[in-house]
Amino acid sequence: MKTQDRKARAGESSPGFSHFYVLQFVVALLAMTPALSQDHRVLNSISFVGNRAFSAAEIKSWMESREGGPFVAGDLERIVARYVSEGYVFARIDSVAVVQSEVGDASDLSIWVSEGKPAYVSLLQVSGVRALHESQLVASMETRTGAPFHPPVLERDIQTLLKLYERSGHPFARIEIVDISFEERDDRIQAAVELSVSEGSLARLGSVLVEGNTTTKTDVILREMRITNGEILQGDEQERIKRNLDRLQLFSSVSLPEVFINPDGSTGLLIKVQEGHPNRFDGIVGYVPPAGSGIDGYLMGLLNVEFRNLLGTARKLSARWYRENQSTQEVELHYREPWVAGFPVEAEGAFFQRKQDSTYVLRRYSINADVMLLHDWTVGISFSQSNVFPSEGYGARVMNESRTRNFGVSISYDSRNDPETPTSGFRYRTEYYTGVKDITRPVLPGGDTRSTTQRLSFDFEHFLSIFGRQVLAASIYARDVRSKTVEMSDLYRLGGASTLRGYREAQFLGSRLAWSSIEYRLLVGRRSYLFGFLDAGYVFSPDQQVLGLAQSEFTRLGYGVGVRLDSPLGLIGVSVAFGQGDTFSTAKLHVRLVSEF
């Protein structure tokens, strides 16, 4: 038996090393291709001779040339390169024939292929492994002894090994192809693969440099990185650091941290930021058309002002005003203190007031603390007290004056790549509250004046980049309140621009709500997109005859289109939403402006 021993060498594991095997055919291809490329006649047919492993249809799919069109230069090399990638490392094209077709001014193209024998891995050796077990590396590879030898698979395996080293704290690891030798047998080619690993030093963090921060204090940036000196840089640590800083929404840009080596051999990180506009103005104006004859339409609106970087410390202060209709409005204040006493704990105090037409006034005071666990998980506890004061007249006849104290816990997860315009990731949050409600001035004497209350809320959002600049956003939300005495002030409200679009703000009242949305977005800029949406809502209302509510359970759908544009004034959003039975004359129009300053 005659044996044939051929060797190939490559320095580093750069993609495309398999092109070495194609070079032996380049001279022949260069001789064939010019004559073919100068022949601009249409190809009537394309046929192959000598192909056994792949059908003619499969080989044609590798080519750019098509029957009915001219020959495309480079197709011969594409065929050989594909054979090599499929493990036929000594495949070649023996000859090409172009014959005048009997039908019109066209040509029949025939290609003689010599496939050779398929290559199988006879030896896989990885040297230089110290930080990890060689068996662990080999087990993570698709290239295995006895398996077909595919150069692209080996390239992919090398990238997998480098990622394993990154996760183990060796970002400077290099893998070289020392030798790939081939030996011909009766029915196959045996490939012996030898790799050499240069692991590099362990990346232990010794210093962090921050550039570009003119307002935000450096220690604020360092603590939000959530990494300390002496810690080993592993895996996607750099991406995680960038994501943490992006979530602050204080910078217009944050670079991916650059890794460098200090004189003492430790690893350093360089982070470049560009200060953005830390404060935010958010306004919505909506027009609700007349619901019937003799009923006027009206404007509703929302104003939200946030100061997100007080004194460069990332402290936050926000105020919100919301007008639901002609006689109902809300006022809300929040203050958030980050990293209390240097620990990863955020504390917040809040005040909320709702004036419900001529029925009641609700005031709520709350404090909560969130503990940042792991990278994307947060758990929290909260305490709140709510007071309900019936208005004189109608309100005093249907509403109890009451005081409710609640204690709650929450858990949340956020892996969105951008809090403003996410294209990937999840956001999840669940809250549970339990408390005691005391009726201090009942409408009807003799009833129970104390009862327990329970509240549950669930939020889930998923963002997925599907094709190019297209994003699919899917979300589902649920709310539930349970108490022996459920009153109007306890009920949830559904409808409007931020929940179920296509309906009036807070059009539906219920003790149990659920709504979901599927939104298709076509990105036309970093923060601009066109969108279409379909919303669905579920409402369960309790039996409250005194409030004019009868027990009911129903679902509603809403749909529409809109646009959000990044302009010199800020983010401008316009949407048109249709509810059940709506026409263009009764559709809901919403205009929103988000400006940073």
Domain 205-275 in this protein, CATH class? alpha beta
Task: Tell me whether domains 205-275 and 279-289+340-596 share a fold.
Answer: no
The reported pLDDT for the residue numbered 228 is 83
Q: Where are the domains of the chain?
A: 5-114, 205-275, 279-289+340-596
Measured distance between the N- and C-terminal CA atoms of the chain, rounded to whole angstroms: 81
Higher-confidence position of 54 and 22: 54
- Give the residue-averaged pLDDT of 172-178: 92
CA distance 559 to 132: 54
CB neighbour class for 113 (10 Å; exposed up to 12, middle 13-18, buried from 19): buried
Whether 425 shows a pLDDT value over 70: the answer reads yes
The reported pLDDT for the residue numbered 546 is 61
Amino acid at 177: I
At the topology level, CATH places domain 5-114 in Ubiquitin-like (UB roll) (3.10.20)
pLDDT more than 70, % of the chain: 91
The reported pLDDT for the residue numbered 54 is 94
E-strand spans in 377-511? 377-390, 401-414, 425-441, 450-465, 470-483, 492-494, 508-510
CATH of span 279-289+340-596: 2.40.160.50
CA distance 407 to 483: 15
- Give the residue-averaged pLDDT of 245-259: 90
**Listing from the earlier edge strand, what are the strands of the sheet with 189-198?**
5-8, 174-184, 189-198, 119-127
Whether 19 shows a pLDDT value over 80: the answer reads no
Angle between helices 75-85 and 151-167 (to 10 degrees): 60
Whether 563 shows a pLDDT value over 90: the answer reads yes
pLDDT digits (tens, 9 = 90+) for 24-70: 444 444 445 555 555 567 888 999 999 999 999 999 999 999 998 88
Q: What mean pLDDT is reported for the chain?
A: 87
